[in-house]
A and B are shown apart, each in its own frame.
Chain A
């Protein structure tokens, strides 16, 4: 209970009337300001509000949201703009039964034992050079 509550009803009514009248008078005088003061208040308000969007723009929720959206957009873009499908490289297949016979023949195994020699023969050399080398070696 405040001191005001302990007052006689008449005094309390008088005090309430005074507070009400004072409040109305003060509110009226608050609204009655000159143009220069109103302009300063307006500028102050706008300057304060300019802080608001900057704060919101850099808010902690915005960074992950934008990152997720960017990754999603990139994925969709790549999927839509992908190039024509290239033919899959065909596995080397054994063309015919004759090739298979060649591969399985005994002499082909002997050829594998001398693989280095055949590779040397296959090198890009002219017959003249080859002969000269054979003669010098022999």
Chain B
């Protein structure tokens, strides 16, 4: 079990960071996934651990994203109205994360461009893409991890690649 966790933990953290956008929250998610795997499935055959671990991770990421959505709605409710923003100096600062991937690519930062493009994907497409491309799960394992059919995995993955291609352009990386 230790060898398995040591082997997947960094990629799991990468997936969590790309999904929730916060390193500390991502670390908590990975730690929770490790605990749940050991507690609930430690006695299962080792070949089942990978899809189970990424299933747990995906569920925790989804929970976290739901919480983030609620938090953003609450903050939006209490945020100052447009009339009040004239005097807000922070509102005058330039956006530190311009979302247009082509511009980022112009700075020859392939990773930043990829992260920006991944951030534009719907959650399920990003999940399918990361599990297949980063973790290297096959279609069946990805379906088990995502809790859906293999057909759904193929559709999500295909759409994700198309959108990334469109966002990154033909000359990436």
**How far is B3's CA from A56's CA once the two chains are assembled, in angstroms?**
18
When the two chains form the complex, which single residue of B39, B114, B129, B170 contacts A25, counting CB atoms closer than 8 Å?
Answer: B114
Given contacts A14-B165, A15-B165, A22-B164, contact A30 B14 (CB under 8 A): yes
In the complex, A103 has a CB within 8 A of chain B: no
The reply to whether B27 and A37 form a contact with Cβ atoms under 8 Å apart is yes
The reply to whether B2 and A23 form a contact with Cβ atoms under 8 Å apart is no
- Interface residue count for A (Cβ, 8 Å)? 32
Kindly list chain A residues whose C-beta atoms are within 8 Å of the C-beta of B34: 44-45, 48
> Could you count the A-B residue pairs with CB atoms below 8 Å apart for me: how many are there?
110
The reply to whether A41 and B9 form a contact with Cβ atoms under 8 Å apart is yes
When the two chains form the complex, which single residue of A18, A25, A26, A51 contacts B161, counting CB atoms closer than 8 Å?
Answer: A18
Kindly list chain A residues whose C-beta atoms are within 8 Å of the C-beta of B168: 18
The B interface is mostly helix, strand or loop, or mixed, namely helix
Selected interface stretch from B61-69, B78-86, B132-140: B132-140
Kindly list chain A residues whose C-beta atoms are within 8 Å of the C-beta of B5: 45, 48-49
The reply to whether A48 and B38 form a contact with Cβ atoms under 8 Å apart is yes
In the complex, B6 has a CB within 8 A of chain A: yes
The interface centre, meaning the residue of A15, A26, A56, A59 with most chain B CB atoms within 10 A of its CB, is A26
Interface residues of B (CB under 8 A from A): 1-2, 5-6, 9-11, 13-14, 18, 23, 27, 30-31, 34-35, 37-39, 42-43, 110-111, 114, 129-130, 132-134, 136, 151, 154-155, 157-159, 161-162, 164-165, 168, 170, 172-173
26 residue pairs from A and B, CB less than 8 Å apart = A2-B157, A3-B162, A4-B157, A15-B158, A18-B172, A20-B133, A21-B172, A21-B173, A22-B133, A22-B164, A23-B133, A23-B134, A26-B133, A30-B11, A30-B13, A30-B14, A33-B13, A41-B9, A45-B9, A45-B34, A48-B38, A49-B2, A49-B5, A49-B38, A55-B43, A56-B42
